[in-house]
Amino acid sequence: MNGQCPPSAQDLQNCAFFFDVDGTLAEIQPRPELVFIPPATLAALDRLQAVGVPIAVISGRRLADLDRLFEPLRLPAAGVHGAERRAADGRLRRLDLDLEALRQIEDELVQACARHPGLRLENKGLAFALHFRLAPELEEAARTLAEDFSRRHARLLTLQPGKCVFELKPRGASKGEVIREFMHEPPFSGRVPVFIGDDLTDEAGFQTVNALGGHSFKVGPGETIAQRRLDSVMAVEKWLDELVRPLKTEVYP
Ligand SMILES: [Mg+2]
């Protein structure tokens, strides 16, 4: 089912949009550095902002990485699954973590991953990702390793499975929680939240917007608590384009 929401330019003006990035606004690529936001999507986001509709991106990537992807836009954003957040007024907030402990965990992970050539370890500063997209046969090895680390460092980290990745994210980092934080602040507060995401980490975001009376969209197949579904990244691009089209002609000619 493809949802049409919000259906009119009128409703659009009452909404606040939260977008996941990889697998939602951008096609997943063999390597994360190859990912790009389609120009039509960037133009649609720019248009939404220009008419005063608040937007934020809610991603597993780091904030710096998100800024590079969305250039020249610099959007309010939450990175590393909510472990870091830049509010609309530019204020930065990071989860307070034991950085020395994280450094030790990284050393351990580097050693453990060296036993599995093809497994790619990404250090996100506040989290670690074990990517097996280029070596799918390593899925079980990656799972075992990630489960072991999340168990031994349960005070700090929690396991977040994703598409071809197992992540060790900071305990307390949640996409649902950061959406709630944005919704308590201007220009988001008082609006109807809309969240679009594609992966397991996004379910917490769906839960929050559902609870706040908003609209949740899951991109692609898979079980979800989202209310509506968009089939693909391309469907998101088309939906966004249709959403902003009336703004160009009727509301803001
Ligand atoms: Mg995603």
pLDDT range class, residue 247, cuts 50, 70, 90: confident
Q: How many angstroms separate the alpha carbon of residue 118 from the centre of ligand 1? A: 22
Q: pTM for the whole thing?
A: 0.92
What residues sit around ligand 1, an ion, with C-beta below 5 angstroms?
A: 20, 22-23, 198-199
Query: What's residue 249's pLDDT?
Result: 52
Q: How many angstroms separate the alpha carbon of residue 99 from the centre of ligand 1? A: 26
Query: What's residue 248's pLDDT?
Result: 63
Contact 149/157 with Cβ under 8 angstroms?
Answer: yes
The β-bridge relationship of strands 215-219 and 157-162 is unpaired
Q: How many angstroms separate the alpha carbon of residue 162 from the centre of ligand 1? A: 8
Q: Which CATH number fits domain 9-95+173-251: 3.30.565.10, 3.40.50.410, 3.40.50.2000, 3.40.50.1000?
A: 3.40.50.1000
Q: How many angstroms separate the alpha carbon of residue 133 from the centre of ligand 1? A: 14
Query: What's residue 246's pLDDT?
Result: 83
- Structural domain boundaries of the chain? 9-95+173-251, 99-170
Query: What's residue 253's pLDDT?
Result: 43
Could you confirm whether domain 99-170 is CATH 3.30.460.10? no
Q: Which of 20, 22, 65, 202 is catalytic?
A: 20
Q: What percent of the chain lies above the pLDDT cut of 90?
A: 85
Q: How many angstroms separate the alpha carbon of residue 205 from the centre of ligand 1? A: 12
Mean predicted confidence (pLDDT) in 4-27: 84
Arithmetic mean of pLDDT over the chain: 92
Which tokens hold the place of 4?
A: 């049409």
Three-state DSSP string of 204-234: HHHHHHHHCCCEEEEECCCCCCCCEEECCHH
Mean predicted confidence (pLDDT) in 19-32: 92
> Would you call 199 a catalytic residue per the annotation?
no
